[in-house]
Structure 1
Amino acid sequence: MITLRLNHQQRAFLQMVVDRDGVLGDIGDLVRAAVRDAPDPAPLTFPAVSTPPARTAVADHLLEPGTGKAVEVAAGQVLRIVQLEGHQCVDLNVFTLADRRERLHVGRTRGMQGPHPAPGDVLWSNAPWERPIMAITGGNATTDTQFPFCSRLIYSAFFGLHDRTNCQEIQNEAQREYGLGPWDIHESLNLFMHTAPGPDGSPVIRRNLARPGDYIEFTALTDVLAIPNVCGDDLSNCSNFNLRPVRVLVEDPLAEDATRARAARDRAVVLGLPQPRDVPDPQPLRRDPGYVADFPYLPLRPADVQVDFDESRFHQVKNVPLYAGDDAAALRDLTLSWAIERLGAFTGND
Structure 2
Amino acid sequence: MKAQVFRGVKQLKYEEIPVPDIADDEVLVQVQVVGLCQSDIKKILYPLYEPPRIFGHETAGTIAAVGSAVKNWQVGQRVVVLHHIPCMHCAYCLNENYSMCDTYKNITTTAGFTPSGGGFAEYVKVPGHIVRHGGLIEIPQHITFEQASFVEPTNCCLKAVKKAQIAPGQTVLITGAGPIGLMFIMLVKYFGARAIATDLIQSRIDKALSVGAEAAFDARDADLPAKIQQLTNGMGVDVTLLAVPSEKAFSQALDCTRKGGKILFFAEFPDEVEIPINPNVLYRREIDLIGSYSSSYRLQALSADIVFNKRIDVDALVSDRYPLKDLAAAVEKAVSPTPETFKILIYPEAASH
TM range (shorter): under 0.3
Comparing both chains, which one has the higher relative contact order based on Cα–Cα distances under 8 Å and sequence gaps of 6 or more?
1
The TM-score, its normalising length taken from structure 2, stands at 0.25
TM-score, normalisation: structure 1: 0.25
